[in-house]
Structure 1
Amino acid sequence: MKNILIVLGIILGIAVFAAGSGLFKKNKSNAVEVKKENEKIMDNKNVKEIYFAGGCFWGTEHFFQQIRGVVGTEVGYANGNTQNPTYEEVVSHTTGFAETVKVKYDPEQVDLKLLIDLYFKTIDPTSKDQQGNDRGNQYRTGIYFTNKTDEAIVKDEVQKLAKNYNKPLLVETIPLKNFYRAEDYHQDYLDKNPGGYCHIEPGLFEMAKKANPLPKPAYQKQDKKVLKEKLTAEQYNVTQENGTERPFQNEYWNETREGIYVDITTGEPLFISTDKFESGCGWPSFSKPITKALIDEKMDRTHGMTRVEVRSKTGDAHLGHVFTDGPQDKGGLRYCINSASLKFIPKAEMESKGYGKYLPLLDKK
C-alpha cells in the first residue's frame, strides 16, 4: 500500500511545486524558521539522540516532531546487513533494515522515559513485523541506543511497560549497529503531504503536542478579577491601584519575628527579616530585597513629589517606594513597603509552605 502511495505522493508533490501555491510557500517559510530555531538549540552540547523503529517511518517521525524538546528528526534505515540501502532494497526484505527515526532531543526539556512511553502509544508492541496495514520485517519495532546509559533506561522502561500487556513484547532493545538516511522524499513526508498515509491515529499527534507542556512558572501574575475576590479591599487598593496604607496602623510595621515576606498577590519571596529595620516611618522598612531581580523600580512623580516606586516583577503589584535615607552600614537604602502588599511567613512555617531554601538567609545577620 505504501509503495503505491509513494508514487502518488511524488506526482502530487511535483504538481504542487509547479503550481507554486501560497500554502506550499507558507509551509516552506515555517520550515525554515523551525530549522533555524532547531539549529540554535542544536548548539547545546547536551542534545542527545535515540532511534525508534515503529512501523512506517512517515508517521513515527511526524509524531515525534510534535513533542516539545525534540529538536530534530531524520528518517532512515537501521540495523541492516548491507551499506547505503535504497528504499526498494529495504522493501525487498533482503537487507534486514528497519524503517527507523533518528530523534534528537534536549534532555533538559524532555526525558527519554517520556519519549519511550509516548512511542508505545503509537505501536502494537506485541505484533511481529506489522504495524497498521504495513507488513514486513522493515516494519518491526525497536528502540536502538548508542551508549550504556541509554541502554539501561530503555530496557528498564520497556520492562515496566511490559506489565501492561498480556502477550510478550516484540520490541527490539539493542544497540544501534548502523543507520543510513532515507531518500529526501521520505523526510518530513507528512508535512509535505498532509493527507498522506499514516498508520498512527491522527488524535495521537494532538496528544503528543500536549504531552510535554512548558512548565508553569512557580509564581504567576493573577487576573485582577481573581485578586478582587482574593484580597481585602485595602490589599487590592494598594497593590492594584497604587494606594498607600496608614503609617503605624498596618500589619507588619512592628513585626520583629524571623521569617520571609512574600508578594501577597503571587506568593513570590521579596524580603527577608534579617534585612528589616526600624526606621520610625510607620511602615515595614528593608535595606534591600532578597534580589533585585524580583522587583521593578520606576520613577513616580505623582502627588507633586519625585520618588522611586517599587513593584513586584512577576505580580506587577505596587509595593511602596525606595529612599536613600537608610542605614549606611546596610547600603544606605530604605525600601518603604506597604504591609498590605506583603504576606509574612514565620521561620517555623517556611519549610512546610515551600520556602525552605530561603532559610539559610536568616543566618546571614
Structure 2
Amino acid sequence: MNSEQKLKDIWFAGGCFWGLEKYFSLVPGVINTAAGYANGNTEQTTYEEVCRGDAAFAETVQVTYDSFITGLENLVFLFYKAVDPTTVNRQGNDRGIQYRTGIYYTSEEDAEAIRRVTEEVRKKYASPLAVEIKPLKNFIPAEEYHQKYLDKNPSGYCHIGKEQFEAAKRGNIDPADYERPPDSVLKDVLSPVQYQVALENGTERPFGNEYWDEHRKGIYVDITTGEPLFSSRDKFDSGCGWPSFSKPVDPAVTVEKEDASHGMDRTEVRSRSGNIHLGHVFDDGPRDRGGLRYCINSASLRFIPEEKMEEEGYGAYLPFV
C-alpha cells in the first residue's frame, strides 16, 4: 500500500560520490539521488576544478526522499554507517578537501534532527567526529558522466563495501540482530492472548488492549524478537481502539501481505524478523502524515518508554522518539 508523497532533500558528502550515490539509491523510501558539488566558493565549477580543490567544493550526493516513508534520522544513521566520520578530508583511498565528510541542510528542523543523530553516533567513537554540519550554500550537479556511475560501470571504483550496500537495502535496522525464538519457547513466555494474536493471526479486543491509549514517548518493538517497529512520534489517536501509527520506524521492518480472510479485502502487516502478525494498514490515516493508518495489535508489541530505552539497548533510537 502506497502513501501519499512528501518529498524532501538532504545533501551528504563522504568520499567519492560514485559510491555514496549508489548507496543511498538502495535505501527504502529514497526517490532519487544526484551526484554534484556542494558548499564551494564559486557559482559554477567542473570536476577537474573540484579535484584541484580550487573553490573548496565537496563531492556531494543530493538525496530526495519520501518523508512519509522514511525519516531524515534513518538517512543520517545510514550515512554514518557508510563513512569513517573521524577522518579529515579522507575516505578510503580518496584524499583531498573535496572528499571531506559533511551533511548539508536547508531548514533548522533538519539541522536539529541531524545533530540529535550525530550526538548518538559520537558516543561510539573515542576520536572527535570530523563531519561538518552546515546549511547548504550551493549545489552544482556533476557532469552526466558521473550520474549513476556505478549503475553504468558496475565494476567501477568504490570506497564503500558490498556489506554496506546490502545494509542500505535492509534499512537502518539489521534483522540479524533480532532472532525469533522457537515457538515452543514463545509458548511459555507469551501470554495466551499474545501467542494467539502474534503467532496465530488473531485480533485482540478494541479499547481493552494495553497500548491503545498509551501516550508516553518511547519505542514499540516486536514482542518475539525485540526488533524496533514503531515510534511514539508516529502514533495518533484514530478512534478505532487499537494503537495507530502513520508509518513504521524504518520502512524495511514491516512486510505487507494481501489478506482476504473474513470476506474482506485488506492488507496485513507482519514484522520482518519475527514474521508475526501485527495488524493491518489502511489508507484512511491523517493526510498530513501520509494518509496511512497502521492499525496494530498491542499483543504483538512491547513498549519501551523513553527513559528506559538506553538501559534496554535502544539508545540509538532516542532521536526517533
Common fold by TM > 0.5: yes
Name 2:203's counterpart in structure 1: 268
Other structure's SS at 2:82 match: coil
1:98 alignment counterpart: 58
Quote the residue 2:153 is aligned against. 193
1:229-276 Cα shifts (integer Å, max 9, x gaps): x9xxxxxxxxxxxxxxxxxxxxxxxxxxxxxx989941136999xxxx
Cα–Cα, structure 1 residues 354 and 160, in superposed 2: closer, same or farther, change >3 Å? closer
Higher helix share: 1
2:92 corresponds to = 132
Aligned residues of 2:38 and 2:140 also touching (Cα < 8 A): yes
In structure 1, which of residues 99, 111, 117 is the aligned counterpart of residue 77 of structure 2? Answer: 117
**What percentage of aligned pairs have identical amino acids?**
46
1:105 CA drift (Å) = 0.8
For residue 164 of structure 1, give the secondary structure of its aligned residue in structure 2: coil
Secondary structure (helix, strand or coil) at the match of 1:76 reads strand
- What residue is the counterpart of 1:210 in the other structure? 170
Which structure 2 residues correspond to residues 1-365 of structure 1 after superposition, within 5 A?
44=5, 46-211=6-171, 265-268=200-203, 296-297=262-263, 353=299
SS of the equivalent of 2:52 reads: coil
Distance 1:183 1:268, change over 3 A: same
- Kept after mapping to 2: 8 A contact 1:53/1:98: yes
Supply the AA of the counterpart residue of 1:268.
Answer: T
1-structure distance, mates of 2:42, 2:266 = 63
Partners of 1:263 and 1:269 within 8 A in 2: no
The number of aligned residues is: 205
TM-score, normalised to structure 1, is: 0.50
Output one character per residue of 1:30-88: Cα deviation in whole Å (capped at 9) or x when no partner: xxxxxxxxxx99x82x1111000011000001110111011110010000001121101
Give unmatched runs, 5+ long, in structure 2. 176-182, 188-195, 208-240, 242-258, 270-296, 302-321
Rg bigger for which structure?
1
Which ranges of 4 or more aligned residues in structure 1 deviate by more than 2 Å? Answer: 261-265, 268-272, 293-297, 310-315, 351-355
Matched residue SS, 2:79: helix
Distance 2:113 2:29 in 1: 18
**How far off is 1:157 after superposition?**
1.3
CA distance in structure 2 between the aligned counterparts of 1:65 and 1:311, rounded to whole angstroms: 33
TM normalised by structure 2 equals 0.56
